[in-house]
Amino acid sequence: MSLPFFRSGDELMWRHEHHLLTVRPWGRDSVRVRAGVHRLRDDLPGALEPEPAPQEAEIHIGADSATLTSGLLRITVTAADGLLTATRADTGAELLREEPAHFWWPGARHFEALGGGVHRIEQRFAAYDDERIYGLGQYGHGRFDQKGMVLGLQQRNGEVSIPFAVSSRGYGLLWNNPAVGRVELAANGTRWVADRARQLDYWLTAGETPARVLGNYADATGHAPRFPAWASGFWQSKLRYSSQDELLGVAREYAARGLPLSVIVVDYLHWRHLGDWSFDQRHWPDPRAMVEELRGMGVEVAVSVWPSVSPLSSNHPPMRDAGLLIAGEGGSTAHAEWPDIEPTPEPGAGGGTEPGTQPGTQPGTQSVAGAAAGRGAASDVAVAFYDATDERARAWLWDRLRENYYDLGIRAWWLDACEPEMRHPEHHSYAAGPGAEVANLYPREHTRGVYEHMRAQGETEILSLVRSAWAGSQRYGAALWSGDIPATFEALASTVRAGLNVAMSGMPWWAADIGGFHGGDPGDPAYRELMVRWFQYGAFCPLFRLHGHREPRETRSFVGVAGGPNEVWSFGDEAYAAMTSVMRLRERLRPYLHAQLREGERTGLPLMRPLLLEFPGDPAAWDVDDQFMFGRDLLVAPVTEPGARTRPVYLPDGATWTHTDGNTRYKGGARVTVDAPLDRIPVFVRDDAHTPLSLEEPT
């Protein structure tokens, strides 16, 4: 009887009947594992960078099993059933083990045929009671440790699927598959599921520390580029500034008050029709002059770009005819309802738009907002989405962005609603493949298009603020933010933990809407307290951005949709004093921030670091989920409870800590309670800090 193993170069292969498994070294201390029925394909989309440099691998084939060793990682495959076990090559400690669901079927790897070479695929691993799992993107469940959770592998507003997990057992696993599915991190096993896929594909790495695991991941999927100098200052934003005059008035007020301002944001509805990707000149008559005036103040303009295209936009017919829009199962390109603005007819002329420009609503479309009367009439239209997985469509979009924004001097992009904001991806067809197989890829490819075309223009400082991301988005200058979250203390606490998981997902650039997005009354004392606390936290995020849809909300027409005041002077004198002090602190932090991010370009480490990244040898550090390191040297303890004026803090073992409020020194490995008055956030400096830093305002 011949052995089921064979070797091809540095790749170990196992075959039983139609089931084929391959293991290949893929970067430092890492392997790529693929499995399928009959054959494996090399042309499927994924997150890994192009094939890495050749790695030295030791392969040994025996009668009962075979092993492949790549640095610290050793993979053993049994001959009888092809089960895979990952261990540390130096210690023999088990990292991860495949485990069948049943002694008969399904096995650890399960392929349920759907026809046409497509399967519903399951990959099962054993559960470990003491294991902690971090990363996997951004979810609003309020937990840092993902063990015990069931997470959908699907992009939604506020839920971002980045299928990379870091384990306390010393490994990282990337589910290298953009299919819609889920991961179940249960007590009786871990199961990864792709609802529709051609083959199984995952990447596995080992590391002595979580920091080493993140570094290996960055090597495999791409390191973040240089963080733009302009992006580290304060961002002013709200839903929404409805005209050029209004936006300039806000920027001039910041200048008159002597407050630092780096970016001001032009939100959605600055266009005439969704998918125009241009300013409506009725309300933005001279955007070039606006950009020039703001740049003279040291302020960049960030502009909202949506991936959706209304049939009323002039871009819709040519994009539809060229096949640049996402198609449905029946060929329709209409996927969501959106209230768009019909032109106001001339007196005596017939109303409405040209016949055929508003296709009927398709089954499963999504109502995004209600319609109301305004200038012209706001009517629901069935909008399309450009296909970001199509290189031609990315080029079309860039041509519009270049003509209508970039050539006016705009360099900062807010790629909003880039999940994209539609339901039922399994019903859609992309250039990269059927929606159920590739939908999670969309936000990364959207960001990629902007990044690559900006690079082609000679730009070197590129950042896109995005509401969704996938594995590898970091290499295209993606700065993820929290999505549309509530304006509550509970949401603030959940956001702190969500940001830590984003950091463990290989995304070093992240931010939250300071103050939350949904609601918040600037005149309410309780909300003012929340705003101050969130503002303090925001100053220690990579992006420091104020945004939200405040009360009172204007809803007299869709075009007039806007929220209440959301500038730092909108929340009363006490809050203003506390917030402006934080703004000046952020300015003093900027050189340190950039130095830490530059080091992260090389190491793959994020700016916001869970304590376990810097202190993996301290068991207590692995359980702390409401504090973080801001770079190597600063420990930040946000206040996330209303009315709190003290804050318990854990100071990790392995350092001595100096509290910046009073310069009290503490030995590490201790829990202390410190004062946290409304105008202060507890911050501690590590004893051997490399960067001289003053957190106190000059007197």
In angstroms, the Cα distances linking 433 to 38, 428, 613 are 20, 9, 37
193-219 per-residue burial string, b: 16 or more CB within 10 A, e: under 16:
bbbbbbbbbbbbbbbeebbbbbbbbbb
Catalytic-labelled residue, pool 419, 421, 625, 633: 419
b vs e for 433-461, b when ≥16 Cβ sit within 10 Å of the residue's Cβ?
A: bbbbbbbbbbbbbbbbbbbebbeeeeeee
Sign of the Cα pseudo-torsion (424, 192, 188, 616, in order): negative
Q: Which residues contact 8 (CB under 8 A, 6 or more apart)?
A: none
Among residues 201, 416, 421, 614, which one is catalytic?
A: 416
Strand order in the sheet with 628-630: 608-609, 628-630, 634-636, 683-686, 656-659, 665-667
Q: Among residues 246, 75, 250, which one has the least CA distance to residue 171?
A: 75
Tell which phi-psi region holds residue 405, choosing left (phi > 0), alpha (psi between -120 and 50) or beta. alpha
Radius of gyration of the chain (CA): 26
Distance CA 630, CA 107 (A): 44
Write out the two tokens for 515: 């103050």
Distance CA 686, CA 611 (A): 12
Q: Which of 11, 131, 293, 484 is catalytic?
A: 484
675 an active-site residue? no
Separation CA 200–CA 111 (nearest Å): 9
Instruction: Give catalytic status of residue 81 as yes or no.
Output: no
Alpha carbons 74 and 29: distance in angstroms, whole number: 9
Give the containing element (helix H, strand E) for 544: strand 544-546
**Summary count for the chain: helices (H), strands (E):** 11, 42
Is 452 in the active site? no
Residues annotated catalytic, as ranges: 416, 419, 484
